Amino acid sequence: MKGLEVNGLMTLGFAGVCQQTELCNESLMLEKLPACGKSFEEMMKKVDSRKWCNLTEFIIYYDNFTQCTEREANNASCFWPNPLAEGFITGIHKQFFSNCTSEKVHWEDPPDEILLTLVLIPVALTSAMITLVVWCSKRSDILITEFEKRNPVIQTGKVMRLSISEKTNLLEAYRKEQVPQLVT
């Protein structure tokens, strides 16, 4: 029984939708699509033609048009979108939205002074941060080395095993030059 269920799922596809077996009736689809265009045209008459380039003014109408073209393509056993439906939709776009091309923005490089500043600031900040990190890491090594010289009992390995509060106490004592002698 399990084998039949798996075979059924494979036949239907994992989405549970029957695979299309009929051939696309392109002439039926091309016959029905103009009704979608006519409906869209009637709806667009409600919108001021100066607002045709603002999608928010007619998005519902356009959605209805899209659903109509998809429904008619599927009724004709055609996939959607397909080249014929896209050609029809392109024709509708040319009819209503041919004047909606956006003006292309011409980008220009900033003046050299500004460009140089915009490049050098991050480079300088990065270099300063790297220098600061390296200096701090060397400084902590110097502190530990100086501390070990004054306290030969403490070795680097032993300092590294101390808790944070013990290290803090040792550094404070070092700063005050009151370093206690630790017993190993």
Identify whether 124 is part of a domain: no
pLDDT of residue 138: 72
CB count in 10 Å sphere of residue 29: 22
pTM (2 d.p.): 0.46
- Residue 68 tokens, joined: 């109509």
> 37, 63, 97 — which closes off a domain?
97
> 31, 65, 97 — which closes off a domain?
97
Identify whether 79 is part of a domain: yes
- Bigger pLDDT: 34 or 155? 34
- Bigger pLDDT: 181 or 54? 54
Whether residue 50 is predicted with pLDDT greater than 90 in this model: the reply is no
- Residue 2 tokens, joined: 């399990």
- Residue 3 tokens, joined: 């084998």
Identify whether 105 is part of a domain: no
* Domain count across the chain: 2
Identify whether 42 is part of a domain: yes
Task: Verify that 28 and 90 share a domain, yes or no.
Answer: yes
Contact between 144 and 161 under an 8 Å Cβ cutoff? The reply is no
Identify whether 116 is part of a domain: no
CB burial readout 42-72, b (16+ within 10 A) else e: eebeeeeeeebeeeebbeebbeebeebbbeb
- Of 6-20, 118-132, 148-162, least confident by mean pLDDT is 6-20
Contact between 37 and 92 under an 8 Å Cβ cutoff? The reply is yes
Task: Verify that 84 and 31 share a domain, yes or no.
Answer: yes
**DSSP-assigned letter for residue 56:** G
Task: Verify that 93 and 38 share a domain, yes or no.
Answer: yes
Identify whether 73 is part of a domain: yes
Distance CA 155, CA 60 (A): 76
Identify whether 117 is part of a domain: no
Identify whether 103 is part of a domain: no
pLDDT of residue 36: 95
Whether residue 144 is predicted with pLDDT greater than 70 in this model: the reply is no
Distance CA 127, CA 102 (A): 43
- Residue 121 tokens, joined: 């600031």
**Domain region containing 54:** 21-97
Distance CA 43, CA 174 (A): 84
CATH number at residue 47: 1.10.150.510
